[in-house]
Amino acid sequence: MIQMDLEQRQSSRFLRPFLVTSNEDESFLAPFNGFDVNLTGLSFWVEDADFFLPEQQISLRIKNTETDEVYCLESVEVVHQRAEGERFLCGCHIVQVTSAQLLSHYRIVMTDEKTALVSMADSKLSEFDFIEDGSSLSTDQADFQEASMALNLAVSQLKSSRSWGHVLLQDIQDTIDSAQGTQIDIEALKLVLSRFSEYYDHMSDMTIALGMLAKLLAHTPEQPEDKSSWKTLISDFETRFLTEQQQIAYDFMHQGMTADDALKIAEEYMAQTPGSL
């Protein structure tokens, strides 16, 4: 990942009260004051620019001073340090997290409904990903049943959209064949390629979203308070990244419908409901 990618933060930043220290400083004896956070990063104040260097990989211990929750981030990359008076603002990108770390960091960012709406509006799918190693699996069979429904829906949606992909591929073939040894119409070819690219991106996003939903469900934490927060995270994720048809179909599947039937009925429902996309 190049430097510019890291500096272009994906979701909105929010000022939050928190402390930052090295992973070894378990008692926060020499903490830095936090400044702002988003789902993929954080920044904090340092007195000396030599404390951290751009592109340096560090491990941090974070304390949410509103709740006293403490968590570690083992894989953080320093993006920049900016002088502000006699201090330096150290901006960092979170490279990877476990499910527990994702939840703890999510709780610092999403303190209220308004914040959640603003942050989720420009968030990306990748911000909700986490590594499986070190992430506990759910102990509730119901979570795996829901994860299975999400995966079944992804498979059904891919199957139902495959015919449209074949149509677009045929358009490309027809455009090439129409040349019949003469010069190919570049603009026409660009148009059909653009349509296929849009189709591919759309299908990829929808499939990844359902796969990510299944992953989130399968790693639902066991403790009641954590489980409640995780369910809120999942709800935010569904609202932001699942299409209207996916959300309606997923609801129908909870009523006992198969994924194929749920998709068909969701499509019919949207066609009959004013304001549906």
pLDDT tens for each residue of 133-151: 999 999 999 999 999 999 9
**pLDDT class for 15, splitting at 50, 70, 90?**
very high
Check residue 99 and give its pLDDT.
Answer: 96
3-state secondary structure the chain: CCHHHHHCCCCCCEECCEEEEECCCCCCCCCEEEEEEECCEEEEEECCHHHCCCCCEEEEEEEECCCCEEEEEEEEEEEEEEEECCEEEEEEEEEECCHHHHHHHHHHHCCCHHHHHHHHHCCCHHHHCCCCCCCCCCCCHHHHHHHHHHHHHHHHHHHHHHHHHHHHHHHHHHHHHCCCCCCCCHHHHHHHHHHHHHHHHHHHHHHHHHHHHHHHHHCCCCCHHHHHHHHHHHHHHHHHHCCHHHHHHHHHHCCCCCHHHHHHHHHHHHHHCCCCC
**Per-residue confidence (pLDDT) for residue 45, from 0 to 100:** 97
pLDDT attached to residue 276: 58
Who has greater pLDDT, 187 or 139?
139
Quote the pLDDT of residue 1.
27
For 78-116, what is each residue's pLDDT tens digit? 999 999 999 999 999 999 999 999 999 999 999 887 888
Write down the pTM of the prediction.
0.83
* Residue 244 and residue 277 in contact, taking contact as beta carbons nearer than 8 Å: yes
Confidence check: pLDDT of 191 > 90: no
pLDDT digits (tens, 9 = 90+) for 206-242: 999 999 999 999 999 999 999 999 999 999 999 999 9
Contact 93, 79 (CB under 8 A): yes
Domains in the chain, CATH or no CATH each = 3-128 (2.40.10.220), 141-272 (no CATH)
Residue 2 has pLDDT above 70, yes or no: no
Query: Rounded to whole angstroms, how far apart are CA atoms 212 and 203?
Result: 14
